Amino acid sequence: MNASPLYVKEAYLYDSLPDKAVQCRVCSHYCKIAEGRRGICRVRENRYGRLVSLVYDRVVAASADPIEKKPIFHLRPGSKAFSIATMGCNLKCRFCQNSDIAHPRDPGADRGGIYLAGQQLSPEDIVTRALDSGCESIAYTYTEPSVFLSWPWIRPRLARSRGLYNIFVTNGFMSPELVEKAAPVLDAANVDLKAFTEKFYKKFCSARLEPVKETLKLMKDKGILVEVTTLVIPGLNDDPTELARAAEFIAQDLGPETPWHLSRFHPAYQMLDRGATPVKTLEKACEIGEKAGLFHVYTGNVAGARESTFCHGCGALAVRRQGYGIETFLLENGVCPQCKTPVYGIYAPGAA
């Protein structure tokens, strides 16, 4: 990673306040930031009464991944997504699997406070790399896209113009205004529903549940393809009653077609005090999701995962997955080959 001077851009979505303070409107923290200070995400700074992005052109991860790795199972299965991230996150999850870039102890700043780690890549560079590597989409992932993609949608707009899909892999703790701004160029999102209690969000993520629920509902209302992921952590969010409430919310408020990925926890970051999620817990969670009426329930981070897609109308196999690969793809124009029931997703090539 280099440490050359940043190309600082004025940030998007903020209000000016008295005494050169500002209020950021990107996420549901709505940080009020004094002059010379940064918001909770650590990558948006108030400089002389102007909020600037410190990571506009500073990419810390860039790779072509199977789209299933995001995980996104219902947009162009078997394709590749060019995955990018910058430093910074607006949540403080104690189980973060990307803590080195999301929550660095020293956020990469030098003594002058103007540098953050990463490779300088312009939006044009990113789109060109995506196309050259055979990707059909760009995934804004690993950390939190809402804190690094808020000015003013240059990458997503450029990607869309070149025939690429745009995907958010997000914690969902963004402002409704940001969702409204993103919707015209956002094709799909995998949103973490980390638990279904305010207590969990406050204690383990320094956030709140309700804004995430509102983000999910607004994304669905805007026609964005939404998939939901819950990392099932032993003893913290694996209570069957809580899982049932989460499943019912997805089925009733988002729609039963909404995929739910139940991911196995492995010790990470500040949560090394408990073991991996028992497989039987994931199996029980799947049963709970199906009982709530969800059509597509998957497991992840576990051997022998539930990862194939079936028609909810007749139960016929639609897409057989093995790991991140596609072994069998039977959909015809997005419908079941047996009963002709449409299967939720985007399957035709080319950006929607």
Residue 5's pLDDT is what? 46
Of 328, 255, 247, 235, nearest to 290 (Cα)? 247
Residue 247's pLDDT is what? 98
Residue 226's pLDDT is what? 98
User: What are the structure tokens assigned to 168, written together?
Assistant: 């958010």
Q: Read off the pLDDT of each residue in 15-25 and give the average, rounded to a whole number.
A: 97
Residue 153's pLDDT is what? 62
Domain ranges in the chain are 9-53, 58-329
Residue 105's pLDDT is what? 60
In CATH, what class is 58-329?
alpha beta
Q: Read off the pLDDT of each residue in 297-305 and give the average, rounded to a whole number.
A: 92
Angle (CA) 121 129 80, round 5°: 125
CA distance 92 to 40: 9
The model's pTM: 0.94
Which tens digits make up the pLDDT trace of 62-98? 999 999 999 999 999 999 999 999 999 999 999 999 9
Using CB atoms within 10 Å of the CB of residue 21, give its burial: 0 to 12 exposed, 13 to 18 middle, 19+ buried: middle
Which tens digits make up the pLDDT trace of 105-158? 654 443 334 446 888 888 889 999 999 999 999 999 999 999 987 554 667 778
pLDDT at residue 159 above 50? Answer: yes
User: What are the structure tokens assigned to 78, written together?
Assistant: 């078997």
CA distance 345 to 227: 10
